[in-house]
């Protein structure tokens, strides 16, 4: 038995440092309160402390760190979006991902795989060309490829998809990557904690106090906190929090499900997405096939899984990879995706002074965790929307100036 493990087992004091301090009580006030200890809330806390010197901050989490969509997603990282605002934003995130493990001194299992958006129709090929041109214009590596290129990268694929929907080609995005989602939350949490931020798990926000249009405090399951600044990063719970301050958004909640197979020998390097078959797949470092499909087609605030999802996903996956028919599904789960009509997030200031929103991340927010932390901490510190998020503010719905990212969303149509 390794000595470190034995020493830990024999000690009554557990000498190994925990990742975060636990705090017996809340302070009566903080400079900034962050609601939600997912990747986004923790990243904002980390950069508030590290880049802006604001450390009198608490992060309130009703469950446990990373227990929301951060710990439920399929970890795809890419910047092959459709709008100039989107491409620039996600490209900055991909750049930030490169240094993150070093910053945290923690292995995030970041793995550059390459990302294919497969096209089975002429219309999908046209969207691939459109995305490739926008991407290249902003310096992002994306190219249109033919079916032979796909077959070479994934020799096990049935390019004809059983004759149902032959693959014509698609968009190839070399920077596409995956990373370990839990470690991202832990890295940001530990980094924030080390700089003086308090993380309070099992602490639910139940109400928000506003006086004369300004934020004054937060009511929690462990008492009231006075504060003039709140950042709300609660993904699928956004409508519930916004109801407390009477702010309306067009966010609607749909479950998004995923599943993994038993581990099998490595055979799939890149990440594959098929918009037409509504499925995607990658292979994890452990050999598991990580698979997902479109949103459940109805609004419901729940994280239950369904047999219908497994059957539909498996049937389409077998069109592409018939040899998987005997591979077992190990587990399935769901998250509550906070969808917007234009498939872009809602970020920045709100009509309530001191209340900042980071939401509408639907099915696409994991990859944006670093850039959201950076831009939202800047926005909170300066009380002004960061220039990278001006295409994502809530006003766009009032002004009919949408940032249409539906064609780049992978899933969710």
Q: How far is the CB of 3 from ligand FAD (least distance, A)?
A: 36
Return the range that interacts with ligand FAD (CB under 6 A); candidates 17-25, 37-45, 375-383, 388-396: 37-45
At closest approach, how far in Å is the CB of 73 from ligand FAD?
A: 3
Binder to ligand FAD among 54, 208, 225, 256 (CB under 6 A)? Answer: 256
Smallest distance from ligand FAD to CB 62, Å: 4
Matching residue, tokens 């009566």: 28
Q: Is 292 in the site for ligand PYC (CB under 6 A)?
A: yes
Rounded distance between C-alpha atoms, residue 117 and residue 261, angstroms: 22
**Residue 238 CB, nearest approach to ligand FAD (Å):** 8
Report if residue 391 touches ligand FAD, rule: CB under 6 A. Answer: no
Q: Is 161 in the site for ligand FAD (CB under 6 A)?
A: no
Query: With contacts defined by CB under 6 A, how many residues of the chain interact with ligand PYC?
Result: 9
C-beta of 252: minimal distance to ligand PYC in Å? 17
Choose between 136 and 413: whose C-beta lies nearer to ligand PYC: 413
Of ligand PYC, ligand FAD, none, which one sits near residue 361, judging by CB under 5 to 8 A according to partner kind?
ligand FAD
Report in angstroms how near the CB of residue 49 gets to ligand PYC at its nearest.
28
Contact segment (CB under 6 A) with ligand PYC among 41-49, 53-61, 72-80, 130-138 equals 72-80
Distances in whole angstroms, Cα of residue 109 to Cα of each of 119, 179, 237, 322: 29, 5, 29, 29
Residue at token pair 């696409």: 364
Q: Which of 49, 69, 184, 408 binds ligand FAD (CB under 6 A)?
A: 69
- 233 in contact with ligand PYC (CB under 6 A): no
375 is an interface residue for ligand FAD by CB under 6 A: no
Residue 275 lies near ligand FAD (rule: CB under 6 A): no
Work out which of 309, 366, 378, 392 binds ligand FAD, going by CB under 6 A: 366
Contacts of 194 (CB under 8 A, 6+ apart): none
Distance in angstroms (rounded) separating the CA atoms of residues 250 and 272: 30
Q: In the set 132, 225, 233, 268, which binds ligand FAD (CB under 6 A)?
A: 233
Question: Is residue 189 a contact residue for ligand FAD (CB under 6 A)?
Answer: no
Q: How far is the CB of 278 from ligand FAD (least distance, A)?
A: 13
Q: How many chain residues interact with ligand FAD (CB under 6 A)?
A: 38
Interior angle at CA 257, CA 251 and CA 262, nearest 5? 155
63 contact, one of ligand PYC, ligand FAD, none, CB 5-8 Å limit per kind: ligand FAD
Of 363, 377, 379, 403, which lies in the binding site for ligand FAD, with binding defined by CB under 6 A?
363
Nearer to ligand PYC, 78 or 181 (CB): 78
Question: Cβ of residue 181: shortest distance to ligand FAD, in angstroms?
Answer: 7
Alpha-carbon Rg of the chain, whole angstroms?
A: 22
The residue among 104 and 168 lying less far from ligand FAD, judged by its C-beta, is: 104
Kindly report the three-state secondary structure assignment for every residue of the chain: CCHHHHHHHHCCCCCCCCCCCCCCCCCCECCEEEECCCHHHHHHHHHHHHHHCCCCEEEECCCCCCCCHHHCCCCEECCCCCCHHHHHHHHHHHHHHHHHHHHHCCCCCCEECCEEEEECCHHHHHHHHHHHHHHHHCCCCCEEEEHHHHHHHCCCCCCCHHHCCCCCEEEEECCCEECCHHHHHHHHHHHHHHCCCEEECCCCEEEEEEECCEEEEEEECCEEEECCCEEECCHHHHHHHHHHCCCCCCCEEEEEEEEEECCCCCCCCCEEEECCCCEEEEECCCCCEEEEECCCCCCCCCCCCCHHHHHHHHHHHHHHCHHHHHCCEEEEEEEEEEECCCCCCEEEECCCECEEEEECCCCCCCCCHHHHHHHHHHHHHHCCCCHHHHHHCCHHHHCCCCCCCHHHCCCCC
Q: Which residues is 253 bridged to in the sheet?
A: 338
Comparing CB distances to ligand PYC, the nearer of 89 and 280 is: 280
Q: Does 389 bind ligand PYC (CB under 6 A)?
A: no
Which of 29, 55, 67, 263 forms a contact with ligand FAD (CB under 6 A)? 67
Does the footprint of ligand PYC cover residue 280 (CB under 6 A)?
yes
Tokens representing 362 are 């639907």
What are the residues binding ligand FAD (CB under 6 A)? Answer: 35-41, 60-63, 67-70, 72-76, 204-205, 233-235, 237, 241, 256, 258, 292, 335, 337, 361, 363-367
């Amino acid at each position: 038995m390794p000595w470190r493990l034995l020493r830990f087992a024999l000690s009554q004091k557990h000498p190994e440092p925990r990742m975060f301090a636990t705090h017996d009580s809340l302070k009566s006030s903080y400079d900034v309160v962050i609601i939600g200890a997912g990747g986004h809330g923790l990243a904002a806390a980390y950069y508030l402390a590290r880049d802006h010197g604001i450390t009198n901050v608490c992060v309130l989490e009703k469950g446990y760190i990373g227990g929301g969509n951060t710990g439920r997603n399929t970890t795809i990282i890419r910047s092959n979006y459709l709008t100039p605002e989107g491409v620039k934003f996600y490209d900055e995130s991909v750049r930030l991902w490169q240094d993150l493990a070093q910053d945290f001194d923690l292995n995030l299992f970041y793995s550059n795989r390459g990302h294919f958006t497969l096209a089975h129709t002429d219309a999908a090929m046209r969207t691939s060309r459109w995305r490739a041109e926008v991407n290249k214009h902003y310096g992002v590596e994306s190219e249109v490829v033919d079916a032979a290129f796909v077959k070479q990268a994934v020799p096990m694929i049935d390019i004809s998809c059983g004759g149902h929907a032959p693959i014509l080609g698609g968009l190839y995005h070399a920077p596409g990557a995956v990373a370990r989602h839990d470690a991202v939350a832990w890295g940001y949490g530990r980094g924030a904690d080390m700089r003086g931020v308090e993380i309070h798990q099992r602490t639910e926000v139940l109400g928000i106090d506003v006086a004369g249009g300004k934020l004054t405090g937060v009511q929690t399951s462990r008492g009231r906190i006075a504060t003039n600044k709140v950042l709300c990063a609660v993904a699928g719970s956004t409508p519930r929090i916004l109801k407390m301050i009477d702010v309306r958004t067009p966010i609607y909640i749909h479950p998004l499900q995923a599943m993994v197979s038993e581990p099998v020998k490595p055979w799939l390097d890149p990440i594959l997405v098929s918009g037409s078959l509504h499925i995607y797949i990658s292979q994890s470092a452990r050999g598991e096939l990580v698979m997902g499909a479109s949103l459940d087609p109805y609004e419901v605030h729940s994280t239950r899984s369904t047999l219908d999802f497994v059957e539909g996903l498996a049937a389409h996956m077998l069109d592409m990879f018939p040899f998987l028919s005997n591979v077992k599904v190990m587990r399935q789960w769901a998250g509550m995706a906070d969808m917007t009509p234009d498939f872009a997030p809602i970020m920045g200031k709100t009509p309530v002074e001191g209340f900042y929103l980071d939401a509408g991340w639907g099915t696409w927010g994991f990859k944006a965790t670093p850039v959201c932390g950076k831009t939202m901490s800047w926005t909170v510190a300066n009380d002004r929307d960061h220039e990278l998020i001006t295409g994502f503010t809530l006003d766009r719905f009032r002004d009919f100036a949408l940032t249409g990212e539906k064609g780049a969303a992978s899933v969710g149509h």
